[in-house]
Amino acid sequence: MKHLAPMANIHRTALVDPEAMLGRNVSIGPFTIVHSNVEIGDDTMIGSHCELGVATPLSNGSPLSIGNNSLIRSHSVFYQGSSFGPELEAGHRITVREGTKAGVNFRVGTLSDLQGNSTFGDYVRLHSNVHVGKGTHVGSFVWIFPYVVLTNDPTPPSETRMGCTVADFAVIATMCVVLPGVHVGSGALIGAGSNVTKDVSPERIACGSPAIDKGPASRVMLRDGSGPAYPWREQFHRGYPEEVVQGWLNELKRFAT
């Protein structure tokens, strides 16, 4: 990582603190502010009107670190004290508070609101307008669809923080609310508009308000008649690296035999 990118990639109206650590070939859009406590990896693009590395005492001085080959779209706000692996992809108008840790190729949709002190594994996909409360833990390859809210306070307002957990490969459809401390098991499917009040076992479907168990996720068939829709990693591979997909297929094959 080099200190200061070539000026050509920083728009003349952008305000970049000289202390910020920018990798090679980083570009910063018009009217964007980059504060001092920020590290941006090589070949990353930051859109216009963003603010990166907003200072907060809650970050205990740790930097905002964004991996190589990332893209942050316009009007997004990232506080200091969070770290993202390579290939972060963020929509417009995202807010990310301190203490958020995400792995490789985290995708966050437009207007999402990550309140911080949360972890995300690798290749997690959040669609637009997802709200993640403090203390949430999300595994790898999870899908969360628009307008989902992950809560953390069972008796609001109180000082009790019980973040929810979402295990690997789980899918939470649009407009769901997951209540404090609830664990969504690996590969589980939560139907749209559900209010998830208790734990969901791995590979099960839950839906409704309150959400109830509707059997194994493998019951759901693809509408084109080509077979079961879940586990989805059997039939959906777009955007994942080849070696990851190969790993899934080998694992599923082993499981089948």
Cα dihedral value 144, 145, 146, 148, nearest 10: -50
Binding piece for other proteins, criterion CB under 8 A, among 39-47, 126-134, 165-173, 234-242: 126-134
Among residues 75 and 233, whose Cβ is nearest to other proteins?
A: 75
Among residues 38 and 111, whose Cβ is nearest to other proteins?
A: 111
Q: Which of 194, 201, 164, 161 has its CA nearest to residue 179?
A: 164
Q: What does the block give as tokens for 257?
A: 């035999």
Distance in Å, CB of 92 to other proteins, minimum: 11
Contact status: 159 vs other proteins (CB under 8 A): yes
Distance in Å, CB of 225 to other proteins, minimum: 34
Candidate list 125, 131, 134, 183; residue touching other proteins; CB under 8 A: 131
How big is the CA angle at 238 (ends 182 and 88), to the nearest 5 degrees?
65
Rounded to an integer, what distance in angstroms lies between the CA atom of residue 31 and that of residue 53? 15
Q: What does the block give as tokens for 182?
A: 């609830």
Determine the 3-state secondary structure of 254 from DSSP. Answer: helix
Distance in Å, CB of 2 to other proteins, minimum: 25
Contact status: 75 vs other proteins (CB under 8 A): yes
Rounded to an integer, what distance in angstroms lies between the CA atom of residue 134 and that of residue 117? 5
Among residues 33 and 71, whose Cβ is nearest to other proteins?
A: 33
Radius of gyration of the chain (CA): 19
Contact status: 136 vs other proteins (CB under 8 A): no
Q: Which of 94, 60, 102 has its CA nearest to residue 80?
A: 60
C-beta of residue 114 within 8 angstroms of C-beta of residue 97: yes
Amino acid at 181: G
DSSP H or E run through 42: none
Candidate list 10, 16, 179, 190; residue touching other proteins; CB under 8 A: 179
Binding piece for other proteins, criterion CB under 8 A, among 18-26, 157-165, 214-222, 224-232: 157-165
Contact status: 34 vs other proteins (CB under 8 A): no
- Sites for other proteins among residues 197-236 (CB under 8 A): 209
Binding site for other proteins (CB under 8 A): 13, 15, 31, 33, 49, 51, 54, 75, 77, 93, 95, 111, 113, 115, 129, 131, 133, 147, 149, 151, 154-160, 162, 175, 177, 179, 195, 209
